[in-house]
Amino acid sequence: MNRITITSLVCLAVFISAGPACADEPSGAFPYTVTEETANRPLSAAMKRVFVQHPAPHINDNELYSQFRYTALKGFDYHDGDGTVSRRDPTKVLFEDGKYHVWYTKRDTPSRPVGPDKCTDTIPSTDWDLSDVWYATSVDGFHWHEQGVAVARPAHPQPGWRSVTTPGILKWKGRFYLYYQAFMEASGKRGDHCPVAVSWADSPAGPWTPENKIIIPNGAAGEWDQFSIHDPCPLVHDGKIYIYYKAAFNRPGNVWICHGLAIAEDPLGPFQKHPLNPLVNSGHETTLFPFRTGVACIALRDGQEHFTIQYAPDWVNFEVAAITELLPTAAGPFVPDAFTDTQYGRGITWGLSHFTNAATDWKRNHTVLTRFDCDLSLDINDPEMKRHQISFTPETHYRHGLTKNQRARLAKATANLKSPPSDSATGQPPSVNTNQ
Ligand code: AAL
């Protein structure tokens, strides 16, 4: 075969696999300047992903990519951080009557949490045991004024008698609904077992009327959410109430933490769980907000797709839209269009989240609320939120140093090099247990 024939065959093969755009790239090399046309040339899998999977080829143009900035809140007292007062798991922030409102879990107990074996009727098991739902208001989003309890633990045996925690707020037809985890045993006793209950009010300031019943029940025995319905996160879509929630499953094996969805036409139910649940395969708490025609989700820790921001154009099928870092934990964003049944969600720029490691030692274990800011909004363009050169100090890295077991494994590996174990004679690599 002569050279011209070979070249023609190669060109034909490339043309067939890549399409006609190949003919527009005579040099064949990836261009220095990326244009819309670049997407049409032959691409490696990695480059195809940036053009096809991500919302924009460059990270700076990706509306679902952001970094996060944090500001300490003013106005909350934590009893000198001695572990007796904790605030955590805030709802979305609402703007009503000229000010911001937020609801959250508050624990105010005689002692810090002591675990499931030592807890009593007054001494908490975990940080969210023996808690109530409290609320606070703010005129600027930085200074907060705690207003008091919104939903208190009901009397035994009502759902939530042991603890009411991790609320999610809904505004529906002029009325307000708080959904929350309703514990009927100390968390940690068998796991973190609870269903979801609800209270409603005609004003954000209350008074709140508890329905005193389970509103999103646990799944049947053997189903993924049989033990826990956590982090209820309500939104309004398609004229209905969409509550995303989290459940942990697969114990005693590797624990999975995923998000599901329950839909209702009335805030008091009945809620139908989506047949494709779980819908999000990662993320420890639920933070979702309408975005364009679909819904976006911040998937924090846990799972294959942790530290990502995901998007479901149909509110059900989520794909990774961005990978980021320093994500807010248990975030409750300010979502102006959360309950407007928007046809085109605008995104978020700030909210409240929490830090569970506010105390430096376990004896003072408690959680504090914080403010986060970001640019996950179609309405602002803040290049400072798109920078991804976060640098952690050497001290931060060294705080994640090797454990005792890991050091022992490494010492053993070096010892094996000096005097190889007898099985090395077989030609097999010495067996080192990497699971230590
Ligand atoms: C949180 C949430 C739920 C869990 C516990 C309190 O971060 O996921 O609320 O039950 O931890």
Nearest ligand 1 atom, CA 330:
7
Question: How far are the Cα atoms of 64, 85, 291, 299, 379 from residue 70, in angstroms, in the given order?
Answer: 18, 21, 23, 18, 21
- Name the β-bridge partners of 210: 199
CATH 2.115.10.20 fits 69-386, yes or no: yes
Mean pLDDT (whole number) for 60-64: 95
Q: Name the residue ranges covered by the structural domains of the chain.
A: 69-386
Pair of tokens at residue 382: 């803040």
Q: How far is the CA of 290 from the centre of ligand 1 (A)?
A: 23
User: Do the Cβ atoms of 279 and 316 come closer than 8 Å?
Assistant: yes
Is 311's pLDDT higher than 90?
Answer: yes
Question: How far are the Cα atoms of 167, 287, 430, 434, 436 from residue 421, in angstroms, in the given order?
Answer: 57, 52, 7, 17, 19
Pair of tokens at residue 397: 């890295």
SS3 109: coil
Structure confidence at residue 113 as a pLDDT band (50, 70, 90): very high
User: What is the reported pLDDT for 430?
Assistant: 55
User: What is the reported pLDDT for 424?
Assistant: 57
- Closest residue by Cα to atom 9, ligand 1, is 166
User: What is the reported pLDDT for 423?
Assistant: 63
Mean pLDDT (whole number) for 136-163: 98
Nearest ligand 1 atom, CA 165:
9
Separation CA 375–CA 336 (nearest Å): 15
Neighbours of 40 (CB within 10 A): 16
User: What is the reported pLDDT for 413?
Assistant: 96
Strands (E), 304-361: 308-312, 319-323, 332-333, 345-355
Q: Which of 89, 255, 365 to mutate to test the pocket of ligand 1 (most atoms within 8 A of CB)?
A: 89
User: Do the Cβ atoms of 267 and 172 come closer than 8 Å?
Assistant: yes
User: What is the reported pLDDT for 12?
Assistant: 40
Is 4's pLDDT higher than 90?
Answer: no
Structure confidence at residue 431 as a pLDDT band (50, 70, 90): low
Q: How far is the CA of 230 from the centre of ligand 1 (A)?
A: 7
Separation CA 226–CA 286 (nearest Å): 18
Q: Is 230 in the pocket of ligand 1 (CB under 6 A)?
A: yes
Neighbours of 274 (CB within 10 A): 15
Nearest ligand 1 atom, CA 356:
7
Q: Is 86 in the pocket of ligand 1 (CB under 6 A)?
A: no
Structure confidence at residue 11 as a pLDDT band (50, 70, 90): very low
Q: Is 127 in the pocket of ligand 1 (CB under 6 A)?
A: no
Whole-model pTM?
0.89
Q: Could you tell me which residues come within 8 angstroms of residue 373 by beta carbon, excluding any fewer than 6 positions away?
A: 68, 69, 70, 71, 349, 350, 385
Q: Which residue type is seen at 307?
A: F
Is 305's pLDDT higher than 80?
Answer: yes
Mean pLDDT (whole number) for 420-432: 63
What whole-number percentage of the chain has pLDDT above 90? 86
User: What is the reported pLDDT for 14?
Assistant: 42
Is 65's pLDDT higher than 90?
Answer: yes
Q: How far is the CA of 356 from the centre of ligand 1 (A)?
A: 11
Pair of tokens at residue 323: 């990978």
Separation CA 335–CA 272 (nearest Å): 24
Q: Out of 25-34, 81-90, 193-202, 307-316, pick the least confident.
A: 25-34
Look at residues 141, 143, 145, 161 and name the one whose alpha carbon lies nearest to residue 153. Answer: 161
Mean pLDDT (whole number) for 78-84: 95
Nearest ligand 1 atom, CA 128:
6
Separation CA 43–CA 320 (nearest Å): 20
User: What is the reported pLDDT for 163?
Assistant: 98
User: What is the reported pLDDT for 361?
Assistant: 84
User: What is the reported pLDDT for 426?
Assistant: 58
Mean pLDDT (whole number) for 239-246: 98
Selected residue with higher pLDDT from 430 and 273? 273
User: What is the reported pLDDT for 363?
Assistant: 86
* Site of tokens 């890991």: 406
Mean pLDDT (whole number) for 386-404: 91
Structural element, H or E, at residue 404: helix 404-418
Q: Out of 59-63, 142-146, 432-436, pick the least confident.
A: 432-436
- Please provide the size of the chain in residues: 436
User: What is the reported pLDDT for 436?
Assistant: 41
Mean pLDDT (whole number) for 73-101: 97
Separation CA 434–CA 241 (nearest Å): 47
Is 215's pLDDT higher than 90?
Answer: yes
User: What is the reported pLDDT for 5?
Assistant: 39
User: Do the Cβ atoms of 176 and 167 come closer than 8 Å?
Assistant: no
Mean pLDDT of the residues in the chain: 91
